[in-house]
């Protein structure tokens, strides 16, 4: 009649123990601790990671890691982690093989050397048994760590690449502004960068897709075997994964903000869209300019800001598609065409007048000739900052006597 062996659990980790021979203990326990080995008790091996107990008895006696001559690789989560004590294979050496050769020959090497010169696992391996099973598990661990390390580098590279390519894709708009702040025209550079904008937009999308793959790709579930430090490790891993995803979404928001910078740049320069010039208003005149050098909607906003700052300009409308700019000014004053052209030249754009409304024949009270309505009256003290007339101004009169 066959009886089932009773399960013996490690008093520290609760892990099921594996019986080892006395020869294993006497070969691996340090000389100063050998006298503590009980001759009348069976010892069991605990392979739980993070647990300090290596050997234990059913009556509570233990031998810890610090009492051994060797490092018990299966109980460690980092470092060299020896796997085969006969022929020198470890998690670290297998990872080196995977990184340099793309594969490992550890198992084949062990099988070959087990025949000649043979192995001595009962006296060199802390488990007291053949190491092939341990090495197989170690190979999988090494592969996972190599893939995780490569994935971490790839994820970081993808995130940085996404932001940089998005920044470069919008440089046709922000770079001229930056150069202009230092008194340098960047219109020519903007035109050159605009040609490569689709390329950098595509790179941004590719980098973001790669970053999302690394962050959300399926991962092998963590081991559920009893382990003294399993809970802290799982918690730490979960926190790091969650942090990486938060960082990814922040990076995505930055990349999108830079990609669409040309579309909302005008709100920073002008506070909103361009103004519609007053139509059929006898108090204003319109002048249409052709503007060369605009490479994106951001350039249109830059052109609008430059023209708006010209004295005498009432409103500006820039059409990026047609490369035209319509400027309104007071009808009784000369059109500030030359000033507009010069302002755009300083900004880095080339402008020319296409058409302009003729001046009106309206005169001011007292017979002031046309074109002089913008000048202060003779003998009057000129204002430091005269305000132009409001082209939309209306005067309402009440007239009695209609029947």
Whether pLDDT at 301 is above 70 = yes
Confidence at residue 245, expressed as pLDDT on a 0 to 100 scale: 84
The whole-model pTM stands at 0.47
Confidence at residue 220, expressed as pLDDT on a 0 to 100 scale: 54
170 or 210, which is more confident: 210
Q: Are strands 53-56 and 62-64 parallel, antiparallel or unpaired?
A: antiparallel
> Three-state secondary structure along 56-120?
ECCCCCEEEHHHECCCCHHHCCCCCCEEECCCCEEHHHHHHHHHHHCCCCHHHHHHHHHHCCCCC
Residue 297 near residue 321 (C-beta atoms within 8 A): no
pLDDT band per the 50, 70, 90 thresholds, residue 374: low
Confidence at residue 51, expressed as pLDDT on a 0 to 100 scale: 93
Whether pLDDT at 313 is above 70 = yes
Whole-number average pLDDT of the chain: 79
> Tokens in use for 213?
């793959």
DSSP conformational letter for 16:
B
Architecture of domain 1-69: Single Sheet (2.20)
What spatial distance separates the first Cα and last Cα of the chain, rounded to whole Å? 130
Tell me the CA distances in angstroms from 172 to 59, 176, 179, 256, one per residue in order. 77, 7, 11, 16
Residue 110 near residue 89 (C-beta atoms within 8 A): yes
Of 1-10, 56-65, 324-333, least confident by mean pLDDT is: 1-10
Of 185-189, 203-207, 350-354, 384-388, least confident by mean pLDDT is: 384-388
Tell me the CA distances in angstroms from 87 to 75, 116, 118, 132, 300, one per residue in order. 19, 12, 10, 11, 72
What's the Rg (C-alpha) of the chain? 41
CA-CA-CA-CA torsion for 58, 61, 64, 69, nearest 10 degrees?
Answer: -100
> Tokens in use for 82?
């020896």
**Rounded (5°) CA angle 123-129-130:** 105
Model pLDDT for residues 335-357, shown as the tens digit of each residue: 899 999 998 888 778 899 998 87
Of 47-61, 127-141, 239-253, least confident by mean pLDDT is: 239-253
Tell me the CA distances in angstroms from 301 to 155, 176, 255, 263, 311, one per residue in order. 36, 12, 21, 9, 18
Q: What is the mean pLDDT of residues 8-20?
A: 92
Architecture of domain 269-356: 2-Layer Sandwich (3.30)
DSSP string over 117-170: T---HHHHSTTSS-SHHHHHHHHHHHHHHHHHHHHHHHHHHHHHHHHHHHHHHT
> Tokens in use for 289?
């300019």
Residues 170-190 as b/e (b if ≥16 CB within 10 A, e otherwise) read: bbbbbbbbebbeeeebbbebb
Residue 320 near residue 254 (C-beta atoms within 8 A): no
Q: Which helix (H) or strand (E) holds 240?
A: helix 230-259
Confidence at residue 258, expressed as pLDDT on a 0 to 100 scale: 85
283 or 266, which is more confident: 283
Q: What is the mean pLDDT of residues 144-155?
A: 78
Q: Where are the alpha helices (DSSP H) in 336-401?
A: 337-347
Q: Tokens 């392979």: give the residue.
A: 47
């Amino acid at each position: 009649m066959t009886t089932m062996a009773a399960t013996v659990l490690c008093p520290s980790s609760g892990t099921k123990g594996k019986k080892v021979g006395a020869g294993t203990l006497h070969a691996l326990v340090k000389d100063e601790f050998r006298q503590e080995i009980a001759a009348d008790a069976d010892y069991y091996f605990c392979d739980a990671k993070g647990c300090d107990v290596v050997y234990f008895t059913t009556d509570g006696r233990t031998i810890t890691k610090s009492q051994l001559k060797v490092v018990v690789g299966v109980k460690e989560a980092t470092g060299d982690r020896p796997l085969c004590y006969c022929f020198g294979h470890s998690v670290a050496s297998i990872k080196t093989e995977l990184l340099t050769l793309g594969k490992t020959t550890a198992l084949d090497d062990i099988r070959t050397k087990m025949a000649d010169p043979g192995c001595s696992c009962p006296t060199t391996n802390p488990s007291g048994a053949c190491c092939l099973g341990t090495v197989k598990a170690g190979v999988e661990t090494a592969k996972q760590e190599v893939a995780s390390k490569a994935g971490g580098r790839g994820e970081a590279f993808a995130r940085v690449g996404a932001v940089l390519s998005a920044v470069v894709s919008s440089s046709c708009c922000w770079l001229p502004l930056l150069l202009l702040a230092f008194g340098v025209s960047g219109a020519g550079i903007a035109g050159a960068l605009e040609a490569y904008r689709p390329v950098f937009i595509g790179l941004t999308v590719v980098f973001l897709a790669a970053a999302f793959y690394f962050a959300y790709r399926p991962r092998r579930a963590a081991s559920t075997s009893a382990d003294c430090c399993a809970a802290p490790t799982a918690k730490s891993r979960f926190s790091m994964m969650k942090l990486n995803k938060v960082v990814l979404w922040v990076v995505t928001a930055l990349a999108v903000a830079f990609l669409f910078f040309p579309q909302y740049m005008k709100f920073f320069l002008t506070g909103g869209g361009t103004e519609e010039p007053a139509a059929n208003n006898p108090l204003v005149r319109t002048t249409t300019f052709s503007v060369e050098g605009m490479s994106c909607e951001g350039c249109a906003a830059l052109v609008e800001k430059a023209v708006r700052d010209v004295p005498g300009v009432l409103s500006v409308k820039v059409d990026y598609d047609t490369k035209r700019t319509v400027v309104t000014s007071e009808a009784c004053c000369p059109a500030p065409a030359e000033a507009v052209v010069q302002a755009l030249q300083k900004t880095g754009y080339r402008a020319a007048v296409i058409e302009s409304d003729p001046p009106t024949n309206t005169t001011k009270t007292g017979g002031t000739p046309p074109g002089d309505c913008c000048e202060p009256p003779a003998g009057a003290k000129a204002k430091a900052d005269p305000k132009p007339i409001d082209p939309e101004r209306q005067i309402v009169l009440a007239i009695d006597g209609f029947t």
